[in-house]
Amino acid sequence: MGERAKDVVNCMAIVIKTAQLHHVNNIAVVNAIHKFLEILNPLLSSEKITLQLIEEFFNLNGSRIRYSVEYSSNFDFIIEVFKKTGLGAIIIEETLTEDNIKAFLAALKTAELSDMPFQTLYDELVGVPHIKIVKFRKIKDETESKKRQIVKTYSSAVSSMKGILNKVGSGEALNLKKSKRIIASITDQILEHETKSILLSMTTLKHYDDYTFHHSVNVSILAIAFGHTLGFPKKNLAEIGLAALFHDLGKVRVPLEILNRPSALSPVDWQTMKKHPLWGIITIFQMKGISEDSMNIAIPSFEHHLNLDLTGYPKVRNNMPLDLYSRIIAIADQYDAMTSSRVYSRIAFPPGKVLRILKEDSGKKIDPHLLKVFIQMIGVYPTGSLVSL
């Protein structure tokens, strides 16, 4: 079903959105219904259709619906409609008519005003032919033990990073051995397909007070998953994971009163903040010398704010291409930062909005080819499904 599957959800969203603004007999609503039926009914010629919400994504007849960023707003809207009404699935057994859709819209409107929305929707649809609904139920993961292990891995990684960065800030040596153990554990779980989506979901468990440490781990998880999606061998996954873990190492030299300031930074303080990529490579080389490990960490630490077109910071004289690890980490860094609540930005943007912002910067600040892969990865493993853990 491929392309048509996402069009079903997209057109359904347009119908419901339009019906929220106009009477069901308004020409705008009628036109939206006709467009929806033109896409839906041909799919019903050979089999019934089941549109099912599973955590934060849709399945159509058992296959996950993948969609590009321009569809994200309507997909987010339909997910919210399902959640508000307690809908788990809509089953359409035969071709529908305009009257069927209007009856569904009326039932949905009544349900949204009810204290028991799903039961109300169910009762209202009893007399509507060919449309059945199923209540939403959280799907249990394959084993609770895997969940617990992943939560333990994530929590341990954040705790370890807190200790490591605090020690570096006090002038102690960078503990790469301990850091590599963190990355090895994360990499192993990324490589196991069943746990990859769960571990990615952990990146949504943001903690405002410990943002720096969660952000370091989140960017590392995203970078490793990104590398895995690109087909990196395990050695390279470990390298990019370690580089991502320490991409903001230079911030240990930024005064806390600047890092933790809730208001906008002054021009002088902003100039200080923009030095952290340079301080990152200085810190790494001072503590670990010149080695393969230190170079793999230092380059992305220096480059991740440069931008693809080198309009970022720190300013460089040479028109040099950015390292692949740097381009990957830059995307992961911006994505996690914008989906997080931070000291200087209490508002966390939803993933769909962030992906749209990143797409606007594609080709200028970030690599367009890598962004396309990242968007596909986030679509396949949507974050937010384990916020309850």
Q: What digits encode the pLDDT tens for the residues 163-176?
A: 888 888 888 878 78
**What is the reported pTM?**
0.62
Instruction: Decide which of 86, 108, 135 is a domain's last residue.
Output: 135
Q: Would you state the structure tokens that stand for residue 50, as one six-digit string?
A: 């089941």
Residue 141: the pLDDT is 45
Q: Would you state the structure tokens that stand for residue 33, as one six-digit string?
A: 């219904």
CA distance 255 to 333: 21
Instruction: Decide which of 135, 164, 193 is a domain's last residue.
Output: 135
Number of Cα atoms under 13 Å in the Cβ half of residue 290: 0
CA distance 253 to 135: 53
- Residue range 303-358, pLDDT digits in tens: 999 999 999 999 988 788 999 999 999 999 999 988 876 655 556 788 888 899 99
Q: How many domains does the chain have?
A: 2
Residue 306 neighbours by CB under 8 Å, 6+ apart: 277, 312, 313, 314, 316, 322, 326
Residue 202 lies in a domain: yes
Residue 72 lies in a domain: yes
Do both 116 and 161 map to the same domain?
no
- For 223, the 3-state DSSP assignment is helix
- For 88, the 3-state DSSP assignment is strand
**Please, are residues 331 and 371 in contact by the beta-carbon 8 Å criterion?**
yes
Q: Would you state the structure tokens that stand for residue 298, as one six-digit string?
A: 């230092």
Could you tell me the CATH number of the domain that includes residue 290?
1.10.3210.10
Residue 343: the pLDDT is 52
Of 241, 311, 245, 242, which is closest to residue 274 (Cα–Cα)?
Answer: 311
DSSP 173: P
Of 150, 94, 85, 90, which is closest to residue 117 (Cα–Cα)?
Answer: 85
Residues in the chain predicted with pLDDT less than 70, given as ranges, are 1-2, 138-145, 193-198, 201-202, 204-209, 341-347, 380-389
DSSP 386: T
Residue 1: the pLDDT is 56
CB neighbour class for 274 (10 Å; exposed up to 12, middle 13-18, buried from 19) = middle
Residue 385 lies in a domain: no
